[in-house]
Structure 1
């Protein structure tokens, strides 16, 4: 044994056999044993053999060991012999590695390259382990094989910064790196790479700075928050963060969500090499209620956590459209907070400030002095154009459909209608909106992606679109006519102290259940009919069920979210909750308190100011 302080070398990441010097002593790790000796790993890419005649002690697998390089053979095999030292100093051997941007892999087929980036996904197949790596220029896959179904490089996981070396190949017409070494970077090395990637992605994720389709003061005021939200979505695509898009299951919410779906899916296809990326990186799900229910987030968590374990995915970005702005979302948000979920919202329901603590971005016209007349579909289409301007021609008719469906009286709707009047006149927009509502009723919680695209004429098959919409509208109108005919004789009329006309329609006792139209739609149809019969009069319609009331109003200046809060405090044991827009919404309660809640609600409606006989 030596009495002086010797130098021991440690091979750094990226070092190869040619960096090993005969006669030098190296710090290695015992990899395994054979009858003829011990295998020692000098780094992830370089290993050698201590013949049993050159071993001095016994070691456990993965134990550190000092070895001297006796010979580097022409074929790359390294002969080692064990050494024992009392004192030594360690010097890391770093190789200056020239890394290749992922965007250049197409020019490197058949060549050995080194890349650095973040692991966006780690998926174990029945054969190799597939590492999805992200750098400042793109996303590609790297395959590492030990033996069938065995996890390669288990020390590296999703979110880690790594350096990968290997040969660029083409498999099933897709680029792939055949991994020869993978090193997990730590400390300053990782920080430098991560900072470089973050800076480039931050610039790349900037949304398009384009004018809106229409003139709108509200949209202009919303632009900064819309750009912030669009940037978050684009960055999620570029970093392989899955997106779950939740939306209210009506024509407005569907139009908003499908506009964004079109933009995001197209962006995924353009920028990610895997042909099936869109199916595991994007999921659109309708929500029955206009808020993020516990049932919704439970379904989403079940889906996302299974995929995180099975496929090594990141936890997703939750994107809520036409819902997400109210206190009713709070229970779901608190669950999301447990899992550190990123949540963003684009909504036009009257917002509650308390939800903003849970959100990374919140687009809502009420924040800038607007109101629900600027519908979710209008905002969603403009967001989609920011996310991916290339889809504009396909989706520019969706705001008109959304506005008509939500009975918007905004200054924006006539402009959106004028924009597409040649192909989608007002009556056609109404038909498409009704067809959407009718089909979504039967789809329940399913997104019906291709059927919905046919209804909205996004599948480049205008004949099928026309036939399908015509058929669905006929069925929907027959169902509505039957429901209204059955219910109207049972509608109760009252005159409030304010002079407003109040109509009560029991949509449980005197309407067909579990079929189209559902209670909300039925209430809306009854309200429209009553407004026509009493033109110029302030009218409020209550669609009453055993434990809910659907409210529709014309000319009575209610504030439904405020009324819900007051009723909750005033009626002990009522279990009151609900919300919606200021004059359109719903209230839930316990069935045993039905009469108390309804009469208290009517009293509050009677106190609301009336816009006037010509409202």
Structure 2
């Protein structure tokens, strides 16, 4: 046939290495790489990935029947300056619906050379099929090529070699049917006859028959083979097993199984792959031996050699072992193909802490997983607006992780709670994660409740330290996670303190080029954006403010912060009610009447600033902000929020008084008993102080 010249009628096979080599407007064949809340990632080549945003779809994202590894057709809409590729939906989703195919080779014909494809090869999976061993044999190595049982009808292609253009080539028997290994029949091949090698030795074994003993870290079904990703103590490799198109091979093998896999090492489009001939789940001593080797290697690789505090700080220096434990857990998650879900408080301190961990982890992910979108698969930062990790947040996280496990065969994540999760109110949420086997790490610059230790694997808290911020704690952990970014983190501890910043952090920030004014501007700018970005990570803006700004952006945003805050402070101070009880002075603000409840600043930040400005040194001073059904307490002397709530509940038993947010000094009650609750809380605080 004559090849059509209108690009909208043909699809292109991209042979380039960089996104800027794509041509906007063309339709390309790609492979589904993964899913996110905002769309689908599609590989256009081994080194170029684009995003098909959910707004481009002609249906709901949840209704797509695509799976990871499926072949799809998309249109390139735009290639951004930063290399991101915006994709559009193609209503045509098979080769037969296009009028032709061409090669998009940046070094070739700009219009594209015709892509000649046999009709039998169209719309097949991305990995070639394997000749089935002859009946009655235990090892099919003698049946490759021109054996009587599986004739070689395609020369090298019949031997299972990739074609010169990198596309997979089907092996076919003398009846023209595709053949493959028996589904799950590990007895068909004597895997012990294959020489055992470590994964890092595979570069030198292309074309050889080998076996590896490893742990399954991922399984996904493509439109052709089943792909098993294996990890041993030296690295990872993908292994393709084919039964028939789209049918799960070795269904008894699952993620986290310890296995022995035998097959031939191949290069497919420059990537190492083992074509599976036998796959056996190991048990008992054999499994324990492999697991032990991997654990020892992972611990050796993940454990920081040392923890060097970012600045002299006793509260950090006495916790180096705990910091090393947290850093090891985070690093191991990266090396172990385990996604990290970072939950941090939606405050300036929480955002600084979350950004510090993010700054350390993303380069490790990019190094470990070279695909351009890996960081979106393996790292998620979700601000948490509540002062604890409650059942609502935990249920949301569990639902997402189970969907990712069942739909995309992802491993269960490491859930890292920063500046939250250390109180008893978080125990149920942490316990729910534990029921499903998700890893849990908690970092909080406050003393953790005993209940939390039982439902976490790593817990780093302030204990008796009173000069430690969550941002300082997390920045020191981040430095241990990735020493290469240590210089980027030097100023973050100073940014995280609103007052009484340890002098060592002030000096560290100054040495890094951040004087007191600039540190203040960054803190205020992050606080403003933390309010407007609640429930979202917004990675780019926070990164700009904390790491990539010469002062212009932070200065602009912090000016808005001060204007908005001063307006609210002026109104609040004019309407403070003062009272005295038991020698304690109280300043009470009706937050329903004298604040803009749904605009900046949030009640907690406003009360913090009010308390700083109005407190006195003449005995205990307490600031109270009371709304419709909740109140917040700030005090110059320490008190126990739970005890205050319990005492108030005894005074007004019908008011449903409950300590809700220990870190925020928050107490909830029934709105109909508002005035009675206020009086009861004031008396309870006075009795305690």
Q: TM-score, normalised by structure 2?
A: 0.70
- Report how many residues are paired: 521
Alignment equivalent of 1:75, drawn from 146, 152, 173: 146
Q: Which has the higher contact order (CA 8 A, sep 6+)?
A: 1
Distance in 1, matches of 2:603 and 2:254, equals: 49
For residues 141 and 567 of structure 1, the distance between their equivalents in structure 2, rounded to whole angstroms, comes to 61
User: 1:109 Cα deviation (Å)?
Assistant: 4.6
Q: Residue deviations 1:80-124, cap 9 Å, x none?
A: xxxxxxxxxx9x966354333223334445555432210111122
Offset, 1:439? 0.9
State the Cα distance separating 1:520 from its structure 2 match: 1.1
1:311 aligns to what?
A: 408
Match of 1:542 among 618, 624, 631: 624
Matched, 1:486 2:575: no
Please state how far the C-alpha of 1:302 moved relative to its aligned partner: 1.7
Closer/same/farther in 2, CA of residues 536 and 425 from structure 1, 3 Å limit: farther
SS at match of 1:256: helix
1:567-609 Cα shifts (integer Å, max 9, x gaps): 456642424122434xx62222222232232212111222344
Cα deviation for residue 544 of structure 1 reads 1.2
For residues 184 and 350 of structure 1, the distance between their equivalents in structure 2, rounded to whole angstroms, comes to 45
The yes-or-no answer on 1:600 pairing with 2:660 is no
Does 2:509 match 1:420?
A: yes
Q: Deviations over 1:361-410 (max 9, x none)?
A: 111121xx323x20111110111112221111112211111123xx3x36
Task: Quote the Cα distance in structure 2 between the aligned partners of 1:259 and 1:592.
Answer: 44
Asked if the contact 2:308/2:480 (under 8 Å) is kept, the reply is no
Q: 1:579 and 1:403 mapped to 2: Cα distance?
A: 20
CA spacing shift, 1:567–1:98, aligned 2, 3 Å: farther
Offset, 1:437 = 1.5
1:141 aligns with 2:238: yes
| Alignment counterpart, residue 199 of structure 2, candidates 98, 102, 112 | 102
Q: Deviations over 1:488-541 (max 9, x none)?
A: 32210113332x43110111121112111111122122223323xx57664321
Residue 527 of structure 2 is aligned to residue 430 of structure 1: no
Structure 1 CA distance, aligned partners of 2:265 and 2:244? 20
Partners of 1:570 and 1:215 in 2: CA distance = 48
Is the 1:432–1:456 contact (alpha carbons within 8 Å) kept by the matching residues of 2? yes
Supply the distance in 2 between the matched residues of 1:73 and 1:473 (Cα, whole angstroms): 70
Distance between the aligned counterparts of 2:574 and 2:191, measured in 1? 87
Q: 1:342 to 1:73 in 2, by over 3 A?
A: closer
SS of corresponding position for 1:540: strand
Deviation at 1:483, TM superposition (A): 1.7
Structure 1: runs of 5 or more not aligned:
1-43, 51-65, 80-89, 610-615
Match of 1:470 in 2: 555
- Asked if the contact 1:168/1:176 (under 8 Å) is kept, the reply is yes
User: Displacement, 1:359?
Assistant: 1.1
539-548 or 147-156, larger mean C-alpha shift: 147-156
* Compared CA separation, residues 468 and 142, structure 1 to 2 (3 A): farther
Aligned ranges 1:578-589 → 2 under 5 Å = 578-581=660-663, 585-589=665-669
Measured after TM superposition, the shift of residue 173 of structure 1 is 5.3
Q: CA deviation at 1:213?
A: 2.0
Q: Name the residue aligned to 2:102.
A: none
Contact 1:174 1:274 survives alignment (8 Å): no
Cα distance in structure 2, aligned partners of 1:74 and 1:326 = 65
In 2, distance between residues paired with 1:261 and 1:68?
49
> Of 575, 583, 588, which aligns to 1:504?
588
Q: CA-to-partner distance for each residue in 1:30-75, whole Å, 9 max, x for gaps?
A: xxxxxxxxxxxxxx9963248xxxxxxxxxxxxxxx9999x97983
Contact 1:557 1:608 in 2 (8 A): no
SS at structure 2 position matched to 1:324: coil
Tell me which moved more, 522-531 or 101-110: 101-110
The answer on whether the counterparts of 1:164 and 1:182 sit within 8 Å (CA) in structure 2 is yes
1:48 aligned onto 2:142: no
Are 1:564 and 1:578, in contact at CA under 8 Å, matched by a contact in 2?
Answer: no
1:194 matched to which residue of 2? 291
1:564 aligns with 2:635: no
Does the 8 A contact of 1:102 with 1:138 survive in 2? yes
Q: Cα RMSD (Å) of the superposition?
A: 2.9
- Does structure 2 conserve the Cα–Cα contact (< 8 Å) formed by 1:568 and 1:577? no
How far 1:426 sits from its partner (Å)? 1.9
- Quote the residue 2:486 is aligned against: 392
Highest CA radius of gyration, 1 or 2? 1
**In structure 2, what is the Cα distance between the partners aligned to 1:276 and 1:131?**
20
Provide the C-alpha distance between the structure 2 equivalents of 1:73 and 1:251, rounded to a whole number of angstroms.
64
**Aligned match for 2:454, one of 357, 381, 394:** 357
Deviations along 1:537-574, one digit per CA (max 9) or x if unpaired, are 643211111111122223x3323344235445664242
Q: In structure 2, do the counterparts of structure 1 residues 328 and 168 end up closer, same or farther at CA, with 3 Å as the change threshold?
A: same
Asked whether the 8 Å contact 2:191–2:261 carries over to 1, the reply is no
Task: Tell me the equivalent position of 1:300.
Answer: 397
Give the match for residue 123 of structure 1.
220
- Where structure 2 has 5 or more consecutive residues not aligned to the other structure, the ranges are 1-129, 151-186
What is the CA distance between 1:190 and its match in structure 2?
Answer: 2.4
Tell me which of 217, 232, 242 is aligned to 2:339. Answer: 242
Where do 1:322-341 residues align within 5 Å?
322-341=419-438
Pairing partner for 2:465 from 367, 370, 373: 370
Displacement of 1:185: 2.7
Q: Are the counterparts in 2 of residues 564 and 579 from structure 1 also a CA contact under 8 Å?
A: no
User: Alpha-carbon deviations, 1:394-434, whole Å to 9, x = none?
Assistant: 12211111123xx3x36xx2101101214212222221111
